[in-house]
Amino acid sequence: MTDTIFAISSGAPPAAIGIIRISGPLAGSVLEHLSGRDFEPRRASLTTLKNSRGLPLDSALVLWFPGPETATGEDLVELHCHGGRAVLSAVCEALAALRGLRAAEAGEFTRRAFANGRIDLAEAEGLGDLLSAETELQRAAAMQMAGGIFSAQVDEWRSEVLRLSAQVEAALDFSDEDDVSELPPQFAQGLIALSTQLEDWCSRPRVEKLGEGFRVVLAGPPNSGKSTLFNALIESEAAITSDIAGTTRDVIERNVAIESIPFSFVDTAGLHDGSGDQIERIGIERAQVELARADLVLWLGPEGRGPDDAWEIAARADADDFTPKSKAQFAVSASTGVGVQELKLALVEKGRDAMPRPGEAALNARQHALLSDALDALLGAQKVSDPLLCGEELRRARAAFDRLIGKATTEDMLDALFGRFCIGK
Amino acid sequence: MHDFDVLVIGGGHAGVEAACGAARMGARTGLVSFDLNAIGAMSCNPAIGGLGKGHLVREVDALDGVLGRAADAGAIHYRMLNRSKGSAVWGPRVQADRKLFKAEVQRIVHAQGSLALIEGEAAALSLKRGAVAGLELADGTLYRAPRVILCTGTFLGGSLFRGEERFEGGRIGENSAQRLAAQLREAKLPMARLKTGTPPRIDGRTIDWAALPEQPSDDEQWTMSALTPGRVNPQVFCAITRTTEASHAAIRANLHRSPLFSGAIDAAGPRYCPSIEDKIHRFGDRDGHQVFLEPEGLCTHLVYPNGISTSLPVDVQHEMVRAMPGLAAAVIVEPGYAVEYDHIDPRALTPDLQLRAIPGLYCAGQINGTTGYEEAAAQGLVAGLSAAAEELGAAPPALDRANSYIAVMIDDLTLQGVSEPYRMLTSRAEYRLRLRANNASTRLTPLGLDAGCIGTARTEWFEAREASRDELTAIFDRKLHSKLLADADLPVRRDGGEKSVSEWVRHDGIALADLQPWIDEDLTQNAEMLAELAEDAAYAPYLARQEAELRDLRASEGLGLSHDFPFSEVPGLSSEMIERLTSAKPPTLAAAGRVPGITPAALSALLVYARRWQAAA
Ligand SMILES: Cc1cc2nc3c(=O)[nH]c(=O)nc-3n(C[C@H](O)[C@H](O)[C@H](O)COP(=O)(O)OP(=O)(O)OC[C@H]3O[C@@H](n4cnc5c(N)ncnc54)[C@H](O)[C@@H]3O)c2cc1C
Ligand SMILES: Nc1nc2c(ncn2[C@@H]2O[C@H](COP(=O)(O)OP(=O)(O)OP(=O)(O)O)[C@@H](O)[C@H]2O)c(=O)[nH]1
Ligand SMILES: [Mg+2]
């Protein structure tokens, strides 16, 4: 028989309330044991929870959900307790002492929901993202996935590929019959239409962007004012600034949300040739790595010497030795604040475009990789003239869709996936 | 002491392969059939091979079976179907002379050592503690044998239908073994009913051949069996005609007289091979359907009109046939009919085709719900090799979906069951790029050699063939510059750079033979092996992509679900899923994924539980 599991589902205490979930065949009898009474399903009731020795633990709001129409597909109980550490740990202790009951492992509630067919893989992933969502945008994107929008979309693609496959297979397996001839002209159109849709999805911003933030790297020669501008952008004195060239030696990274767009600002060591200092040299190497990873570089150095697509920033606009740039996107002074607000607003605009749009489902890296596989196969199918190879490419697309919604998954994938969940969901 | 290690009942295609296969493994084998002279008889259209089916013939041949050699001995028309498509879906097919085919089967069966031929009717199984102990014949003789293979075709409750007429029995002119049938029914095996049909036979002398387009035998000198040195018979033409509006009108006016429409037959027939009345009913807008006129032999006038299987009354068959070009004066020698028969739900079988309910009893061929000589032969081979291996403590060839169509079929049958007569199709094989009819020997003969089911002649042939492999493979690594090819007017860009022969043969419009000027070896030598290597090279990028998938497959094949795996205790499986899994009894997690209707969620529930269960065991 399956174990019955429990965990605090409402985040780390202390908080106003703490919700403990119990899922599994013993959930109902556990509730009866703790409260000494029966409950009407799906109705909140106030009751006093007591431990095995009859000592009161807490006065709690309890909910009883008989399976299988529950979040996990099993009998489920929710105890809404007072959110203090002591109360919650006392209730958990009492639960752990009961036979057949144990604390849940990471991701176990979701795993059960998945195993019991309550959610599919894409939804499970969405739920995982939802639980770790920090910003409102992240939450909205995760909601879309958890709601099954993406799964429904994949199902639709899959049936379209099946339809196309059937045409190819007919041409292969029944070519000896006159009723089936070569592939109809609509076939190619169908392929193109489908790959266009996938292309659109693949080019959309990915959900990780929401968690990682839009990565803005400040770069330029020593003493160009990078760290000072960095501090101004994140509104905190995280980086040391001084008039000594080579002050910043390592990479400093800070996450902030500006107008609810998540950013990751990165300050780097000043770039220059021929430094004899080993530490500085390593710092410069790291700065180069950061330039490659950046979503956007703010270039504070001599005009035209920064990476392509970098924004030319004329910094220290108030200083005596200020050298204007002919095509600077922004002239700013971190000291006086001139131009900083404009720069921030422009960054918000730019960052918003790189983020999944609110209300639109966004893919995570795994989903993106599989969808790209499917797209690659569909493009391959358009290139080959032999229907046999076309059939193979369509099969590959189908396999990618299957893996997207969890069919034919490998153990490792499941483990990796469910290992991400915080306990209790 | 047993009289035999393995006893095979039925001398059809399944029975012949089962008996010869078991005997080749070295088992003391007996083959029981009603009429020993009927062994090797082709009941219906004497055509062998075709799309998907040709693959089976070549695979049976690669394991040293009988079918391919007999097909060549009888072949009077060779045609490679699908030649315009990629070679993995080419379908070798021959039209055979019935008599010559049968004579060759008889010759092989009689020459096979360790095989006794017994004429008689198998009447009842002798069972001990529920397992097979032997076989009783209708005349009372009892043979003791721990393994019995049923290859009895449609003998279970077969009924024939033609218009308003009814006959009992498997095929016209044969009785059916009622006692054995009753015994199987008593064992409460899951059974179902299917139907199939056959067209009328026409006297070739009454066909106006001159009025019809001809279809000649292929010029290329390929053969069905790797061991056949060349074609032996004169080759004949087939002809092509069509049904007409007048044929359709005759059919439509009499649909109610067909047992298929009158309600007399309600079993499912094959969707891919409908009767002509079905075609007219379902695709009414067609003004004609193509019909191949295939001679049944060199010394017979019988002609098989492929494409008009029917159970309409005889008078309607005449009317329909005579309305077709070239057939205005055609005489029907034997009218078409439909057969309805019981078959065993193949989900009751293990992957070696043994009935779970009666250990020691194997079933192969049409009795398992398949149709076709090739399907029957392939199952017979598997059952024969498995039964012999089990008895001898050896291992049969390790077949799986990634190495053979045979395994695809067995896996489909035993996991998914059948809802219509099962026929091989290339689309059933997900790894068909590697399962070419042309490379069956490379794929399977080594497995056969390991298992011990390959005779001396093929062993020698195979060793000689393999000896050249390394040397020939090296040809494909040579580098050639695009300039050379472009200068010789081959369709490549001059600036394409240097590429290996492997890469060049992947180009549209470049065949290996085109590269002869720059290759020292004579490419006309070892042509067959070179063609195989060239195909390997052409498909290589696709095959490489499948590797990850195959690794996944083999990993989940590795997670075994033992025969007593408690599906009903897996948490979270709906009762529907439990039912499906329990009746299919998938032996591995991968197999469970192929049981129809099993959802991703169910599969992962199974995975989680199976791992825990395995760890506990
Ligand atoms: C009407 C009809 C038309 C068909 N048309 C085609 C076609 O065009 N092409 C094609 O590929 N396939 C066709 N098939 C299918 C094909 O004939 C079968 O699938 C195939 O022959 C089955 O082989 P088998 O070895 O399982 O059985 P069979 O070939 O039927 O052999 C069964 C053997 O068992 C013997 N037997 C049965 N019971 C006993 C007993 N109790 N004791 C001793 N011997 C017994 C029988 O005498 C027979 O020799 C057709 C089938 C039918 C019925
Ligand atoms: N007047 C004025 N001075 C500035 C401004 N920004 C930076 N400075 C000064 O310029 C000097 C260098 O500034 P930092 O921000 O440390 O420069 P950096 O580019 O980070 O230098 P390294 O870390 O050494 O590469 C400091 O003395 C700052 O006070 C500005 O906007 N106006
Ligand atoms: Mg600095």
pLDDT digit string (tens) for B566-590? Answer: 898 887 677 778 888 888 889 888 8
At residue A416, the pLDDT reads 47
pLDDT digit string (tens) for B113-135? Answer: 999 999 998 989 999 998 999 99
Contact residues of ligand 1, CB 6 A cut-off: B 9-15, 32-34, 38, 43-45, 121-122, 151-155, 171, 174, 177, 180, 196-198, 339, 365-366, 371-373, 376
Q: Is the pLDDT of residue B433 over 90?
A: yes
Peptide bond into A14 cis (omega under 30): yes
Share of chain A above pLDDT 70, in %: 85
pLDDT digit string (tens) for A274-326? Answer: 667 788 888 888 888 999 999 999 999 999 898 999 999 999 989 888 888 88
**A165-196: string of b/e by CB count within 10 Å (b at 16+)?**
bebbbbbbbbbbeeeeeebeeebeebbeebbe
At residue A133, the pLDDT reads 57
Place of tokens 């020459």: B111
pLDDT: is B452 or A170 the higher one? Answer: B452
Taking the domains of chain A in order of start, what are their residue ranges?
4-116, 131-206+362-405, 214-354
Strands of B361-363's sheet in order across: B115-119, B29-33, B6-9, B147-150, B361-363
At residue B207, the pLDDT reads 96
- What is the band of B3 on the pLDDT scale with cuts at 50, 70, 90? very high
pLDDT digit string (tens) for A72-97? Answer: 888 999 999 988 888 888 898 899 88
At residue A424, the pLDDT reads 37
Q: Is the pLDDT of residue A411 over 50?
A: no
Peptide bond into A68 cis (omega under 30): yes
CA–CA separation, A98 and A33 (whole Å): 10
* A351 three-class SS: helix
Ranking A121-135, A265-279, B217-231, B381-395 by mean pLDDT, the lowest is: A121-135
pLDDT digit string (tens) for B47-101? Answer: 999 999 999 999 999 999 999 999 999 999 999 999 989 899 999 999 999 999 9
Are B52 and A172 an interchain contact pair (Cβ–Cβ within 8 Å)? no
Residue of B52, B430, B608 with shortest CB distance to A395? B430
Q: Is the pLDDT of residue A409 over 60?
A: no
CATH superfamily of A131-206+362-405: tRNA modification GTPase MnmE domain 2 (1.20.120.430)
Mutation to probe ligand 2, out of A228, A244, A332 (largest number of atoms < 8 A from CB):
A228
At residue B525, the pLDDT reads 87
Residue of A117, A175, A386 with shortest CB distance to B601? A117
Share of chain A above pLDDT 90, in %: 37
Ranking A365-374, A398-407, B12-21, B516-525 by mean pLDDT, the lowest is: A398-407
Contact B217, B78 (CB under 8 A): yes
- What is the band of A349 on the pLDDT scale with cuts at 50, 70, 90? very high
Angle formed at CA A233 by CA A232 and CA A237, multiple of 5 degrees: 45
pLDDT: is B17 or A402 the higher one? Answer: B17
Q: Is the pLDDT of residue A177 over 60?
A: no
Q: How much is the mean pLDDT over chain A?
A: 84
For chain B, list the domains and their CATH numbers: 6-193+341-456 (3.50.50.60), 468-555 (1.10.10), 558-616 (1.10.150.570)
Ranking A152-161, A168-177, B88-97, B103-112 by mean pLDDT, the lowest is: A168-177
Ligand whose nearest atom lies closest to the CA of A283: 2
At residue B22, the pLDDT reads 98
Q: Is the pLDDT of residue A69 over 50?
A: yes
Mean pLDDT throughout B557-573? 82
Q: How far is A203 from chain B (nearest CA, A)?
A: 24
**Structure-block tokens of residue B250:** 């005759």
Out of A113-122, B68-77, B467-476, B479-488, the most confident range is B68-77
Q: Is the pLDDT of residue B617 over 80?
A: no
At residue A228, the pLDDT reads 94
Q: Can you tell me the ipTM of this complex? A: 0.82
Q: Is the pLDDT of residue B171 over 60?
A: no
Residue of B86, B593, B611 with shortest CB distance to A388? B86
Backbone conformation region of residue A179, classed left if phi is above 0, alpha if psi is from -120 to 50, else beta: alpha
At residue A425, the pLDDT reads 37
**B304-330: string of b/e by CB count within 10 Å (b at 16+)?**
bbbbbbbbbbeebbbbbbbbbbbbeeb
pLDDT digit string (tens) for B263-283? Answer: 777 777 777 778 899 888 887
- What's the CATH fold of domain A4-116? Gyrase A; domain 2 (3.30.1360)
At residue B261, the pLDDT reads 81
Contact B183, B123 (CB under 8 A): no
Residue B467 contacts by C-beta under 8 Å, 6 or more apart in sequence?
A: none
Q: Do domains A131-206+362-405 and A214-354 have the same CATH topology?
A: no
Tell me the HSE value of A16 on the side-chain side, using a 13 A CA sphere. Answer: 0
At residue A147, the pLDDT reads 65
Q: Is B538 at the interface with chain A, CB within 8 A?
A: no
pLDDT digit string (tens) for B199-228? Answer: 999 999 999 999 999 999 999 889 999 999
At residue A402, the pLDDT reads 81
At residue A32, the pLDDT reads 94
Atom of ligand 1 nearest to the CA of B121: 42
At residue B175, the pLDDT reads 53
- What is the band of B400 on the pLDDT scale with cuts at 50, 70, 90? very high
At residue B135, the pLDDT reads 95
- What is the band of A383 on the pLDDT scale with cuts at 50, 70, 90? very high
At residue B330, the pLDDT reads 96
pLDDT digit string (tens) for B281-299? Answer: 887 777 888 899 999 999 9
Q: Is the pLDDT of residue A423 over 70?
A: no
Q: What's the CA-to-centroid distance between B328 and ligand 2, angstroms?
A: 103
Mean pLDDT throughout B154-169? 77
A–B CB contacts, 8 A cutoff, strictly below: 110
At residue A132, the pLDDT reads 59
Supply the residue whose CA is at minimum distance from atom 11 of ligand 1. B372
Which amino acid is it at B250? A
* Chain B residues closer than 8 Å to A74 by CB: 571-572
Strands of B165-168's sheet in order across: B165-168, B159-162, B337-344, B191-198
**Structure-block tokens of residue A266:** 């990165």
Q: Is the pLDDT of residue B256 over 70?
A: yes
At residue B470, the pLDDT reads 87
Nearest to A21 by CA among A100, A84, A81: A81
pLDDT digit string (tens) for B497-520? Answer: 999 999 999 888 888 989 999 998
Tell me the HSE value of B119 on the side-chain side, using a 13 A CA sphere. Answer: 5
Mutation to probe ligand 1, out of B51, B95, B141, B155 (largest number of atoms < 8 A from CB):
B155
Q: Which CATH architecture has domain A214-354?
A: 3-Layer(aba) Sandwich (3.40)
